[in-house]
């Protein structure tokens, strides 16, 4: 049976992107660098303070611990950031093809695929 709408050659990148974006704290880190911080560096303290304000069900300490032990290492392993565990500094790298992959994913999941040549 032929698969339609699936891009097997892009599956590993798509899986990695979705794995990165599947947790709200990782999305908050990305949001911070993409929309709030004009530099591509911050401390864990900066990130935790910002995120704790946006995610009121978590306190600052809880956010900080989860960032250091789970989410910043995940962002680093997936190529989105560099995290220095000694200084607690984060350097954001972003993702070169995230926007393109997300657009392709949206089209694959859409009931009505659209062309990039819209009128």
pLDDT tens, residue order, the chain (119 aa) = 444 455 677 778 778 888 888 999 999 999 999 888 889 999 999 999 999 999 999 999 999 999 999 999 999 998 899 999 999 999 999 887 777 777 777 777 776 545 444 44
| 91-24-79 Cα angle (round to 5) | 35
pLDDT at 7: 63
Q: Report the distance separating Cα 40 and Cα 115, nearest Å.
A: 34
Taking only Cα atoms into account, the Rg of the chain, rounded to an integer number of angstroms, comes to 17
Query: Distance of CA 101 to CAs 13, 16, 25, 98, Å?
Result: 8, 11, 21, 5
Across-strand partners of 82?
91
Give the Å distances, CA to CA, from 14 to 54, 71, 94.
27, 18, 15
Rounded Cα distance between 29 and 80, Å, is 10
């Amino acid at each position: 049976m032929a698969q339609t709408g699936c891009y097997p050659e892009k599956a590993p990148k798509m899986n990695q992107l979705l794995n990165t974006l599947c947790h709200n704290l990782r999305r908050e880190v990305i949001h911070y660098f993409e929309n709030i911080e004009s530099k591509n560096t911050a401390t864990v303290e900066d990130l935790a303070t910002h995120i704790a304000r946006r995610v009121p069900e978590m306190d600052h300490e809880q956010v900080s611990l989860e960032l250091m032990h789970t989410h910043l290492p995940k962002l680093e392993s997936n190529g989105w950031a560099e995290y220095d565990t000694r200084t607690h500094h984060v350097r954001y790298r972003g993702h070169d093809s995230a926007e393109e992959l997300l657009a392709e994913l949206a089209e694959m999941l859409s009931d009505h695929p659209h062309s990039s040549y819209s009128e």
